[in-house]
């Protein structure tokens, strides 16, 4: 039997639905709206397996903040009402047949990446439902990312248009330009056009840094800040080797009556 695993980036979906509600204190409405959204996703994607991955409520900024103290520093916390209503939302999703996975020491993004890549490595189909372009570094022939809210696929042509690089070069791109939404600085003075130029000529940061033909206007910046570029790339790179503690059979999608 062919497999289609659908992974929901849970807080990504919930936050967008919740912020659009006329009364943000109405958790029941948020739960109902997310359930309708998930039912449409189910109808469109016909999953054989499905799971929603959440960051743990008490999750700190983890190993990335140890590498880069500015990482997600000062990020606006989740509204208290929404935080308190997450169990109600998870229960509503459970009643649709969707189990929830809560991260412990790792960020939800790394759990999603590990599960998605493990299943895709066997040639099985995986769809990640998220607006987060960070997942695009994982793209493969059987792994796709769906931005449900914009009704678009975050695929290789999208990455080419949006960033001017290949999906496999995204972490190098962010190592150079940084990621403002996560307070990842990159190299000061190197913007998207410079990153595109460097990564069009070279496959990655290391090849550019080692090359004798790197343009002098980029050479000085890389010489000064290569270690920061390396750290930012590492922070932008999703982990795909986390111990998950369950198997695919555990998340078979069986709609509950």
pLDDT in tens, 25-46: 789 999 999 999 999 999 999 9
Residue 256 has what pLDDT? Answer: 75
Residue 205: pLDDT above 90?
A: yes
| Cα three-residue angle 54-22-55, rounded to 5 degrees | 10
Cα gap 145→139, rounded to integer Å: 8
Q: Are strands 99-102 and 49-54 parallel, antiparallel or unpaired?
A: parallel
What's residue 236's pLDDT? 97
Rounded average pLDDT over 57-81: 82
Binding residues are 109, 176, 185, 187
Q: Which residues carry a binding-site annotation for K(+)? A: 176, 185, 187
Average pLDDT estimate for 109-115? 95
**How confident is the prediction for the chain on average, in pLDDT?**
93
Q: Residue 65: count other Cβ atoms within 10 Å of its Cβ.
A: 15
- The whole-number pLDDT of residue 257 equals 60
How far apart are the C-alpha atoms of 81 and 119, rounded to whole Å?
35
How wide is the angle at C-alpha 68 spanned by C-alphas 168 and 160, nearest 5°? 20
Q: Pick the range with the lowest mean pLDDT from 37-51, 56-70, 90-104, 199-213.
A: 56-70
Helix axis angle, 27-45 to 80-94, nearest 10°:
40
Q: For 145-182, how does the pLDDT look when each residue is reduced to its tens digit (9 = 90+)? A: 999 999 999 999 999 999 999 999 999 999 999 999 99
Binding-site residues for Mg(2+), in ranges, read 109
């Amino acid at each position: 039997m062919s497999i289609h695993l659908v992974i929901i980036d849970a807080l990504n979906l919930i936050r967008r639905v919740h912020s659009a509600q006329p009364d943000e204190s109405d958790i029941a409405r948020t739960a109902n709206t997310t359930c309708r959204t998930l039912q449409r996703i189910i109808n469109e994607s016909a999953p054989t397996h499905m799971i929603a991955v959440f960051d743990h409520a008490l999750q700190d900024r983890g190993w990335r903040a140890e590498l880069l103290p500015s990482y997600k520093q000062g990020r606006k916390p989740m509204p208290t009402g929404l935080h308190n209503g997450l169990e109600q939302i998870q229960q509503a999703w459970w009643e649709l047949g969707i189990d929830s996975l809560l991260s412990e020491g790792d960020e939800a993004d790394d759990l999603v990446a590990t599960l998605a890549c493990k299943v895709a490595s066997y040639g099985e189909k995986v769809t990640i439902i998220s607006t987060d372009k960070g997942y695009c570094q994982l793209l493969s022939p059987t792994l796709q990312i769906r931005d449900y809210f914009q009704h678009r696929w975050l695929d290789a042509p999208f990455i080419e248009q949006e960033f001017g690089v290949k999906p496999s070069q995204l972490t190098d791109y962010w190592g150079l330009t940084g990621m403002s939404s996560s307070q990842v600085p990159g190299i000061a003075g190197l913007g998207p056009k410079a990153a595109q130029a460097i990564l069009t000529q070279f496959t990655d940061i290391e090849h550019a840094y080692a090359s004798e033909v790197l343009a002098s206007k980029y050479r000085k910046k890389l010489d000064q800040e290569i270690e920061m570029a390396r750290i930012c790339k590492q922070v932008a790179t999703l982990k795909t080797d986390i111990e998950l503690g369950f198997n695919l059979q555990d998340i078979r999608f069986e709609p509950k009556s």
